[in-house]
Amino acid sequence: MADTIIYAMYDDDDKLVDGAKKLVSNGIHVNEVFSPMPIHGIDDVIGVRHTRLGIAAFLYGLTGLMLATLGMKYFMIDDWMMNIGGKPSFSYLENLPAFIPITFEFTVLCAAHGMAITYFLRNGTLPGMPATNPDPRTTDDRFVMEIRTSENSSHSASDIQALVRSTDFVELDEKTV
């Protein structure tokens, strides 16, 4: 089935949020919002679920912590017990204070980079990827809502457009794919 995409453009973030609220209250599913900056409050209106990247970062950090601990235990205690000033490293716990700085740094390293890589992969933002915003002005001062007829089976394209017209929009565009 041919899918019609309706782009409603606004010149203000608050006007877009008001518009989105109106559409949503009329039972329309807003597929996507493109904006030049984060719009606070839009996530709940259009039903974007809260990201779990924070949890991911915690797990990456935990991984780093474990790797650092296991690594230093192996290097300094098991594989080659270094004898410094006649005081060999008998156990990991006895030497723990010296290992804390690197354990901390490695935890941060893994958490930060693990989260950053996940962020790029989940977003699909990688070097050389094509831009997918519908209008170049959406990275400047325009805010665009994308509504697809395929996800709004109870409304026709003209119904949706009529509703958009009742909001404080500046441009209305339609694309069939």
Within 11-40, the residues that bind other proteins by CB under 8 A are 11-14, 17-18, 32-40
Give the residue, chosen from 62, 70, 121, 129, that forms a contact with other proteins under the rule CB under 8 A. 129
Give the residues across from 83 on adjacent strands. Answer: 88
The residue behind tokens 């519908």 is: 134
Kindly state the number of chain residues that form the binding site for other proteins, as judged by CB under 8 A: 71
Within 94-113, the residues that bind other proteins by CB under 8 A are 95, 98-99, 101-102, 104-106, 108-109, 111-113
> Biggest alpha carbon distance in the chain?
85
* Closest distance to other proteins from the beta carbon of 93 (Å): 15
152 Cβ contact partners less than 8 Å away, ≥ 6 residues apart: 28, 29, 160
Within 47-76, the residues that bind other proteins by CB under 8 A are 48, 50-51, 53-54, 57, 61, 71-72, 75-76
Residue 102 and residue 106: Cα distance in Å, rounded? 6
